[in-house]
Amino acid sequence: MEVIMGDVIKLTESGELSKDSGTEGIEGIETMPTTEPNQEKSSSRKFDFSKTFKRHVLLKFLYFGWDYQGFACQEDSNNTIEFHLFKALTRTCLIESRSSANYHRCGRTDKKVSAFCQVISIDLRSKFPEKQQFEESCLEKEIDYCGIMNRVLPKNIRCISWMPIRNHLFSARFDCITRTYRYFFPKGNLNITAMQDACKLLQRHTDFRNLCKMDVHNGVTNYVRHIEAANVRLCPHQNESKNKGYAMHYLEIKANAFLWHQIRCIMTVLLLIGQEKEEPSVINELLNVEKNPCKPQYTPAMGFPLNLYHCEFRDKSEQKAMSESQQGRRDLRDLTKWLHNENNLRRLIEILQSEWSQAQIKATMVRSTLYDLEQLLEKEFNAIDVNFQTSLLQDNVKRKSYQKLMSRKRCESLNNRIEHFVKKQRLTVPKQKDSVEEQELSMP
């Protein structure tokens, strides 16, 4: 048995968390008693990673981001998804440190943004030497990575499954070929057909500097992205004719990568089109950067309805395998298959059903009150439907008269911003062919 002091974790001989191990505040886990100053310290030592094996894996996570400050670690806040992930990884002795873990993330979601399919690549402790790690019997007896992490993670961050990877250089970031996001919203008074027409125009353009938040000060100078698909759909099990403005829809958008606030900016314009304040053709106007090099002023839509829904990876990494054992597998796919645990999935479903029940009870109570009030409005004043369900998603500043996007004040152009930071010696413009790789690949 190994014991780690500080955040105390007990490990069984199999490498799993014992049922009575852990720290205070974790269900079913007891804290080890503290030692009095004059009392002899119990024999204990730090976990010796030099005596363990490692394997390279993909880990798939689910999280609801509305209580967090984003995915990536921040200097001024511990309230991030990544902070909790690495806290769990180190407490369970799956890694020694972040710097030695060969870590990459698939996407960097912003404040309040969720993920149904966030994927990271990382080296984790293994029970078996490298030559045996892909044998079926070893995979069955491997450490239950998701199970032991979920015991110490917050309930709204869950590990779903893991995949053994043959190439140690396979990257969840650089070997991800497409990312799919969904943005959920109620129909309200929106013209869904007009929004769908506008989505088709998104696929005709590649320079999205006017549909994102430009961060030239962070070195991002390339705003070319390739949208493979975009559409607005009715959520499953929703009845649009029965629910009227309450029927839930979602924007689904798929691309090789996304810019900072790109999807939220796209959603803002789609909402204006759905409200018939703008024509679908405004998409062509905004994305014609030669004609309109300066972005009109508008506020991105709210972030909490957005989630990273799906990721796709190439079979073979563009990075070359280095070890001899990996070279012997160079004709095989780097990807294998996602490994799930029935008990973990049952527990995950149980947790999400509880989350759903709580949210649905609140939503039903509000909806019931709305129904009574709407009936009263119709009876007393013979008023038409009131549909303001989407107002929460937009800029809360209400203007007496709407001003068209293309007639609004413009932001500074990309070229002017680049020139400004180059003069301040705060920016070195990378070569065009390297710029996309050097920038963060997913900041919607």
Element spanning 117, H or E: strand 114-126
What is the Cα–Cα distance from 168 to 102, expressed in whole angstroms?
8
Has 110 been annotated as catalytic? yes
CA 405 vs. chain centroid, Å, equals: 29
405 within 8 A of 296, measured Cβ to Cβ: yes
DSSP 360: H
Two structure tokens written together for 66: 């509305």
CA 99 vs. chain centroid, Å, equals: 22
Sign for the pseudo-dihedral over CA of 325, 331, 333, 334: positive
149 within 8 A of 303, measured Cβ to Cβ: no
What is the Cα–Cα distance from 60 to 158, expressed in whole angstroms?
9
- Which of these is catalytic: 67, 110, 175, 372? 110
What is the Cα–Cα distance from 75 to 176, expressed in whole angstroms?
27
Q: What are phi and psi of 63, to 5 degrees?
A: -150, 150
Burial class (CB in 10 A: 0-12, 13-18, 19+), 210: buried
What is the Cα–Cα distance from 278 to 298, expressed in whole angstroms?
13
The residue count of the chain comes to 444
274 within 8 A of 195, measured Cβ to Cβ: yes
**DSSP H stretches of helix in 212-299:** 240-243, 262-274, 282-287
The 3-state DSSP class for residue 380 equals: helix
Query: Smallest Cα–Cα separation from 62: which of 170, 159, 192?
Result: 159
Two structure tokens written together for 212: 């994102």
What is the Cα–Cα distance from 47 to 30, expressed in whole angstroms?
19
What is the Cα–Cα distance from 57 to 166, expressed in whole angstroms?
8
Query: Smallest Cα–Cα separation from 162: which of 351, 344, 347, 315?
Result: 344
Please give the positions annotated as active site: 110
